[in-house]
Structure 1
């Protein structure tokens, strides 16, 4: 066995073998270790379905690559991967389900995924064994289907060997040690004993520049060895194999195989299997397993079937395919399938560690394996993938995450596989967990909360008795009218937003100025001033957006997106470690939970603050002269010391009020009372999101990400090309491949875009929306997105795909609302 490699992949399931294959193909000296036999984890008992359907842009790309990659494996390796390209029929019983498919369809268009729509009559005509009288329709993919998990894994393993990868079985990793330049990995030889797999006395040490863990059900053991947290815990997944169906056998004498039949409203899928049917379900009350590790005695094993738990889905199958009613049960499977709290895998650098990469938590591991290997290899070899992988980054869950949280959210995620995926959905498990002090006050005033990095954040405020769950929709939900009122309040009067979830760091020390000047794209502000700036990836794309407040010559307060605290902290700290010797001592502290934030905005915001500010001259304390735009000052509001920043994400006169979090309730009550004479309204995140689009303010995670540069985001004013900064050369080398624009949309009367829609010029797809919503200033839908550079000029006409139709849209000038910032700069 080799004792040194460039890359060590731990885990021999479909995901691990794909990663090894793609690293080997890229020319890296790679070894794959498996503690048992290849495929002996969840891979062996997976149903092998390859569904395209996914609401995530990144994951859709991953699935698309996998499906295309698997089709060419046999030509390369000589091994048949067992791919049955029978297609995938996803049926809908309700119009709302069809609306869900329409939103997915537009996302699929942005990736180029082929699909078609079918009526119930077309389904019945083509596949008469399917009952269709209660259907609204279906979406059909004719290029996917299902695959034999063991066969495709073995084909990828052979392909990996052909690319020089060493594959070693029966070796278990028992320890990881980072030496400062490479990993020392202690491994133990595993042997068969009485049907169990046990550790022998034979050990070895492998050194590797990079390590990738793809340990599946063993992710909790991996987390313990690495001393990190990984919210990947298996959930029981059941499917049954039925005896032959005579009607199906007769049908197949002269007809091709049925597609995978997905009855989403019955939480199940069905496919053919040797003249019979396989039924798989995603039912309620499926429990997590192995929360603290897989027992040594558990190998390629299964759990006892719980038929009572899936009785309803079984009856629904008989309803949908009546000919199967008399078929007996041939076999059953109830095995562990790893999940994460949001259902997306954890792919990318491990938190706090160097050259350690995670590929864990794959609930659809066979579908995702090929694409994960491809894009993760790009990240490792080239420094960045061609698509933005941030939505899958392992650091989207911070150190606050616990095993109990992950287990409960994973169970919830499992039962939501076929529950309608509303874009405005909020799932209730493990909530509330992280709350700001004003949570109870906000709840008492009708706050309907969203979930951001564990924080409870008001989405909007509604009257007593309003049910958020019942208000969700793929069109304008019941909450829409309240968001409109809140947005108007900020445009016409004054509103108060809780922005406590913002990520906040203090960076200080003798080397802080030189480091941040190198780390970010914009000029650093002077003391008491702020700027907006970006940290770039090695590839020159946008890694993080920061508002930087300069507190003193060598102390800076950095504010970034609330959803990305651990993600930002990890990148910032690693960059400091790399550069401290060059620039001098630098301290970095995450102060997110020390400071609450209220954003007050609107034409009357100064009036509200004037009523409570304590100053030698309250009437001028907040004037343009004493407190100019894009500046920061320490002020006193009543008895609360506040670090106030004159900036507003809504594009109105306003301030962010950063305050000691233990004083938040005092400040909330003070502002609420002061706001009453001015009609101040509490405002949630949805209205704020609409308002920032009217100002063309880009948001990280939508417009800003690792697949576009700040120049492609059309933000040259925040990029100082006269200085040297990290990623500059790579950014300039990329040029302008696409450009970010704001669009006014003449859409339907009952719907707005969600930021997932395809953009067209004639019959040609020319881009996609990244954000969407409603403009109260213009009384119509609004969106921000990317188009080819030739279509970025103001006045250009394009079309947006919404609800299966194309709607006219026009590129407008940046900041269509108040382009000269007159409302922001108004004096008082």
Structure 2
């Protein structure tokens, strides 16, 4: 048996990149095993497109890191080119919403330092003269984009990694994986490995390797075709004239891309009715293989591309590549710890394996060697899907994502596939009352309440049809009271003799007293905010923790890891308990009319009986009003809701959803985990430093937090933004004069205050005046608020 520190399974761009970056980080006892040869599966037949276009800064950095690696670093290290062509790229559109999306991405890129150019039709003609302009409104240009030879890039990473001490074993398929004590045992065709860490980077075979590990990997192979033309006279003429390579061009509305390939072109279509392949296991003999062409499926897209770029039709088809690429339910890769397994990692599921491979290996290598990711991981965290992501879900979502590969990403988009998997016991009651539902970690939850049956939200970057209903929801919360279904919370019980000690050492804040509620932030080793828990100490031996729905698996892993050495028992009660929010100035009157118990003060936690039903009542409010979260057994939730509703209606009570809650929490300046609170920033930088109490305590990240240099380098501020036709949402750059000094993390219109509000990080904490936010290409004045605009003294909250 061979021992190793890490065994990586899969030799595509992503797995090889991880090997390369681990070796660079000093982890040289690393073995990569590959069932065939490097790049077999998806990498070898990829078109090699590389881009900086992304809606998320982490995804953008994965792609930008890949470009730097392929273009600059690897050629310098190996002395050989990776075949990177810095052709630039553009996206064109005839859709006004798409122009809004382009403006948004260009704004984000101003902050991240990868500036993109929003194009007029005339500029499109300058950059790509083979394009017909009929009907085009404009586009966006990515000057540093290009394309790479996937095989050259992968083998270059392999060469440097092996030279640095890493090991690659080709034609060595994995036959079995098991856990023995603290080690992983990986049985391959040639040898057996005993390793501390195991990484599933199997790509096309990711589901099978996951199955061996005891995981359900939510990825599906989907067949993607692209056409390679013979010589195109117009392209050949440009080459003969010494003109630069044509930029890659994408038409998201027609769902195709085109790039130059020598004196010809490559055309890649994405059909709406994607063809999934080998969902339950790839044939063992599959390697560097392709499927027969199936051009009938994409004929209409090819025709549309030829109409836009007529030169495509002048070359004839030389070959058709039809091979599998993997899609996750949101088309982002799976990167990070494998849920419930110690020292097991995922680096798989990327539909853009070459484009994101170089950066993905860097990202996971940092996570493995530093104990935390280098950037916010929420968009790629391998635990963002739970066991509810079953076979039907992953197939439905893969087909949807493939068909919407070029779909507009609206700020509040709710895609329809794979819905209805996790329903709260109040779901039907919410639907009956006009709830328009959204999805949160598989759960259905009310976003807002409509006046008409079967209402759906407008897809727009501007104020949607829910603006007025949300205003009414905020009004009823403020003037009387309103109920909300908050059951999507992640919920955990901690019991046992060491429950208080467990909570005391969990995060940056102390454990609250018995019968009280507190907030604690679990930190990364570097002092960034990893998790946020609301903690209710029911006794010294019983703590109740809640967190964001999307954090369920990652927080469960965190709690399980933290429990080592403590005499406690952990229980996940996400499915067992429902939560009803009762918020507003009349909430006490409504609750007391159904309850004989004396109701507690602000931040109290107590067991009471409401309408004859046992209820765990937490007096906390995310909307800044007097109110309670009522945690109740699932089987009694509907009865409790109906009793509260019947008592509240004569007093004018109503309902509110997630959109109203977001608007109201911003009026209080409350931070949101996953948007405003991330691993990249410390509690001090995030504006929650008052909840850090390190005196006489030890917790993860404490030393780094106290020693972190220049703690004022970043500063989160609440901004009052000049009104306009578009309300802020996220990823807008903040300017001081012409200098980008920050970025918006969340925003909304505050209906109680009449203010347009945004939370933003300033990377220059001295930038306090002359601020502007650029929203969809237009600058809007912004002023830092010294206090929340709604109830700054918390008089309503504590009443």
Bin the TM-score by the shorter chain: over 0.9
Residue 729 (structure 2) aligns with: 754
Which consecutive residues of structure 2, in runs of 5 or more, have no partner in the other structure? none
Whether the 8 Å CA contact 2:106–2:115 is kept in 1: the answer is: no
Residue correspondence of structure 1 range 148-547 to structure 2 within 5 A? 148-189=149-190, 204-254=191-241, 255-465=243-453, 467-468=455-456, 471-547=458-534
**Deviation at residue 362 of structure 1 after TM alignment:** 0.5
User: How big is each residue's C-alpha offset from its partner over 1:147-166, in whole Å with a ceiling of 9 and x where there is no partner?
Assistant: 11111111111121222212
> Aligned equivalents of 1:44 and 1:706: distance in 2?
35
2:733 maps to 1:734: no
Residue 4 (structure 2) aligns with: 5
Secondary structure of the residue that 2:798 maps to in structure 1? coil
Residue correspondence of structure 1 range 86-97 to structure 2 within 5 A? 86-97=87-98
Single out whichever of 301-310 and 682-691 deviates more from structure 2.
301-310
Single out whichever of 2-11 and 301-310 deviates more from structure 2.
2-11
Which consecutive residues of structure 1, in runs of 5 or more, have no partner in the other structure? 190-203
> Aligned equivalents of 2:603 and 2:233: distance in 1?
75
Residue 562 (structure 1) aligns with: 549
**Deviation at residue 774 of structure 1 after TM alignment:** 0.9
User: How big is each residue's C-alpha offset from its partner over 1:321-378, in whole Å with a ceiling of 9 and x where there is no partner?
Assistant: 1233343221111211111101111101111112211101001111111111112111
Residue 785 (structure 2) aligns with: 812
> Aligned equivalents of 1:314 and 1:526: distance in 2?
67
User: How big is each residue's C-alpha offset from its partner over 1:105-149, in whole Å with a ceiling of 9 and x where there is no partner?
Assistant: 122222111211221012223432101121111110111111111
Whether the 8 Å CA contact 2:507–2:520 is kept in 1: the answer is: yes
Secondary structure of the residue that 1:530 maps to in structure 2? strand
Secondary structure of the residue that 2:225 maps to in structure 1? strand
Single out whichever of 598-607 and 171-180 deviates more from structure 2.
171-180
- The partner residue of 2:640 within 664, 667, 670 is 667
Residue correspondence of structure 1 range 598-637 to structure 2 within 5 A? 598-611=580-593, 613-615=594-596, 621-622=598-599, 627-637=600-610
> Aligned equivalents of 1:320 and 1:252: distance in 2?
21
> Aligned equivalents of 1:522 and 1:158: distance in 2?
47
**Deviation at residue 815 of structure 1 after TM alignment:** 2.6
> Aligned equivalents of 1:147 and 1:491: distance in 2?
57
> Aligned equivalents of 2:38 and 2:387: distance in 1?
32
> Aligned equivalents of 1:491 and 1:768: distance in 2?
30
Whether the 8 Å CA contact 2:437–2:445 is kept in 1: the answer is: yes
Secondary structure of the residue that 1:546 maps to in structure 2? strand
Q: CA RMSD in A?
A: 1.6
Residue 199 (structure 1) aligns with: none
2:130 maps to 1:129: yes
Residue 101 (structure 2) aligns with: 100
Whether the 8 Å CA contact 2:741–2:764 is kept in 1: the answer is: no
Secondary structure of the residue that 2:379 maps to in structure 1? helix
Residue 23 (structure 2) aligns with: 24
> Aligned equivalents of 1:354 and 1:638: distance in 2?
45
Secondary structure of the residue that 1:696 maps to in structure 2? coil
**Deviation at residue 517 of structure 1 after TM alignment:** 0.7
User: How big is each residue's C-alpha offset from its partner over 1:648-674, in whole Å with a ceiling of 9 and x where there is no partner?
Assistant: 100111110111111122122222222
> Aligned equivalents of 1:609 and 1:729: distance in 2?
44
Secondary structure of the residue that 2:555 maps to in structure 1? helix
Residue correspondence of structure 1 range 776-787 to structure 2 within 5 A? 776-787=751-762
Residue 49 (structure 1) aligns with: 49
**Deviation at residue 251 of structure 1 after TM alignment:** 3.0
In 2 relative to 1, CA 247–457 (structure 1 residues): closer, same or farther, beyond 3 Å? Answer: same
> Aligned equivalents of 2:311 and 2:114: distance in 1?
33
Whether the 8 Å CA contact 1:231–1:401 is kept in 2: the answer is: yes
> Aligned equivalents of 1:797 and 1:778: distance in 2?
23
> Aligned equivalents of 1:182 and 1:305: distance in 2?
45
Secondary structure of the residue that 2:796 maps to in structure 1? coil
Whether the 8 Å CA contact 1:741–1:792 is kept in 2: the answer is: no
Whether the 8 Å CA contact 2:128–2:247 is kept in 1: the answer is: no
Secondary structure of the residue that 1:171 maps to in structure 2? coil
Residue 696 (structure 1) aligns with: 669
Whether the 8 Å CA contact 1:459–1:686 is kept in 2: the answer is: yes
> Aligned equivalents of 2:755 and 2:307: distance in 1?
44
Secondary structure of the residue that 1:491 maps to in structure 2? helix
Secondary structure of the residue that 1:449 maps to in structure 2? strand
> Aligned equivalents of 2:240 and 2:453: distance in 1?
58
Residue 145 (structure 2) aligns with: 144
**Deviation at residue 445 of structure 1 after TM alignment:** 1.8
> Aligned equivalents of 2:332 and 2:691: distance in 1?
33
User: How big is each residue's C-alpha offset from its partner over 1:451-497, in whole Å with a ceiling of 9 and x where there is no partner?
Assistant: 0010000111112256425x111121222222222122222222211
> Aligned equivalents of 1:687 and 1:725: distance in 2?
38
> Aligned equivalents of 2:736 and 2:12: distance in 1?
43
**Deviation at residue 398 of structure 1 after TM alignment:** 1.5
**Deviation at residue 789 of structure 1 after TM alignment:** 5.3
Single out whichever of 45-54 and 459-468 deviates more from structure 2.
459-468
Whether the 8 Å CA contact 2:527–2:682 is kept in 1: the answer is: yes
Residue 198 (structure 1) aligns with: none
**Deviation at residue 587 of structure 1 after TM alignment:** 0.2
In 2 relative to 1, CA 77–217 (structure 1 residues): closer, same or farther, beyond 3 Å? Answer: same
**Deviation at residue 808 of structure 1 after TM alignment:** 1.0
Single out whichever of 662-671 and 544-553 deviates more from structure 2.
662-671
> Aligned equivalents of 1:135 and 1:791: distance in 2?
43
> Aligned equivalents of 1:553 and 1:429: distance in 2?
45
Residue 573 (structure 2) aligns with: 591
Whether the 8 Å CA contact 1:739–1:792 is kept in 2: the answer is: no
> Aligned equivalents of 1:638 and 1:354: distance in 2?
45
Whether the 8 Å CA contact 1:272–1:278 is kept in 2: the answer is: yes
Given the two structures, how large is their TM-score scaled by the length of structure 1?
0.93
In 2 relative to 1, CA 479–466 (structure 1 residues): closer, same or farther, beyond 3 Å? Answer: farther
Single out whichever of 5-14 and 82-91 deviates more from structure 2.
5-14
Residue 193 (structure 1) aligns with: none
User: How big is each residue's C-alpha offset from its partner over 1:367-425, in whole Å with a ceiling of 9 and x where there is no partner?
Assistant: 11111111211111122233112331111112222122111111111111111111111
Whether the 8 Å CA contact 1:792–1:811 is kept in 2: the answer is: no
In 2 relative to 1, CA 530–806 (structure 1 residues): closer, same or farther, beyond 3 Å? Answer: same
User: How big is each residue's C-alpha offset from its partner over 1:794-828, in whole Å with a ceiling of 9 and x where there is no partner?
Assistant: xx4421111112211111124331111011122xx
Secondary structure of the residue that 2:212 maps to in structure 1? helix
**Deviation at residue 700 of structure 1 after TM alignment:** 0.8
User: How big is each residue's C-alpha offset from its partner over 1:190-234, in whole Å with a ceiling of 9 and x where there is no partner?
Assistant: xxxxxxxxxxxxxx2222222222100101111111011211221
Single out whichever of 703-712 and 646-655 deviates more from structure 2.
703-712
- The partner residue of 2:654 within 681, 703, 706 is 681
> Aligned equivalents of 2:139 and 2:449: distance in 1?
36
> Aligned equivalents of 1:816 and 1:409: distance in 2?
41
